[in-house]
Structure 1
């Protein structure tokens, strides 16, 4: 089964993005939920400053982490499959850019939907002061991913399908 350069690049970008989405979520849980002990998944509904509220939040944080591990696993498995079926070398820049884009998408979704629309939680319990900063940093992460993808395009040149179309 032959794959065109465009199909290969699209698969790397898609599955790198899926992997990055899960990775961004897991980094969020490890850093903010566990290390800083804030930003728990359902702290807008269960007060994490009470024993029962903290236990409930930690349980849902753990279930969320398991779901994100599954998403990361699917992304990694499909990246592996794409790399093994390809007739061209794996583009680490495209995978890296896709991973950054996926992590940025997760964090923008978290910041906009979870913080503002659903009110599930805030970056810091009891204050919305850091929510705008979260969204800005998330957009910067997303932008960094797109910059890496542009760099990949410049370094690797146009894809074979694009070259054939211009001839």
Structure 2
């Protein structure tokens, strides 16, 4: 007796393309948020908002969390579509994402972010402490937006990455170079006029010990959180920064780690 398989659902290819796009879009958001918001700390989602309730550091970090939560929802939608596409196919052949549509989604995220966040609303720019904000915006737009989009469009009909695909290797190399270059720029900044320092105290530590350690310096307070656990200060001598760990600090920017977002916090910000 011959086993007759039911026909494949004609919607399966469409669902697979949609799943691949959604996964690429969400991965673009995660790439942006994890690298730029957390590792390099070049900006938060609302870094361009410096006043009101959303201008505080705690609110900035919280909105980054909301952003990542939204990316989780989009990624979950992509996984659901991937599962539905697999269920609609009667054969036992493995279902693979359409990598062309994945890269289209990845590029669309960065293009959308640039248009809406950088240039229309201005809620943040790629590198908030850069002297020329537009140069960084355009470089990111081209490398992580336009290039993946064009590569994905060219390969959108391929069910798997082309063998020995030069374009795919080029994009991967650009990603690696950009991440390494960004880390080097963050560790060894090209400009030295921003001397603000972020100090996070250990739970239970007193700010008095910190001020006692800085008593003989010209250090000034720029901002602090209401609990007195996070301080932004200026004019702290580099030689004094490591000593703050003995005074209750668990994090001091510019001591043994990159300055991150403290590099674009300016003196005169509201406390």
Shorter-chain TM-score: which interval? 0.7 to 0.9
Aligned residues between the structures: 148
Unaligned runs of 5+ in 1: 156-167
- Decide which of 101, 105, 117 is 1:102's aligned counterpart: 105
The residue number in structure 2 matching 1:43 is: 47
Q: TM-score, normalised by structure 2?
A: 0.50
TM-score (norm 1): 0.78
Higher relative contact order (CA 8 A, sep 6+): 1
Q: 1:105–1:142: 8 Å Cα contact kept in structure 2?
A: yes
Any gaps of 5 or more consecutive residues in structure 2? 1-6, 163-271
Q: Give 1:135's match in structure 2, choosing from 141, 148, 154.
A: 141
Do the aligned partners of 1:17 and 1:99 also contact (CA within 8 Å) in 2?
yes
C-alpha distance in 2, partners of 1:45/1:126? 14
> What is the match of residue 59 of structure 1?
62
2:167 corresponds to: none
In structure 2, how many angstroms separate the alpha carbons of the residues matched to 1:26 and 1:46? Answer: 24
- Give the number of the structure whose residues are more often strand, by fraction: 2
- Distance in 2, Cα, partners of 1:102 & 1:142: 7
User: What residue in structure 2 maps to residue 24 of structure 1?
Assistant: 28
- Alignment check: 8 A CA contact 2:23 2:105 kept: yes
Contact 1:19–1:76 at 8 Å: present in 2 too? Answer: yes
Deviation at 1:104, TM superposition (A): 1.0
Matched, 1:144 2:151: yes
Is the Cα contact below 8 Å between 1:39 and 1:124 reproduced in 2?
yes
Q: Within 1, Cα distance between the matches of 2:86 and 2:152?
A: 20
Q: CA deviation at 1:93?
A: 5.6
RMSD: 2.4
Is 1:68 the counterpart of 2:77? The answer is no
Deviation at 1:114, TM superposition (A): 1.0
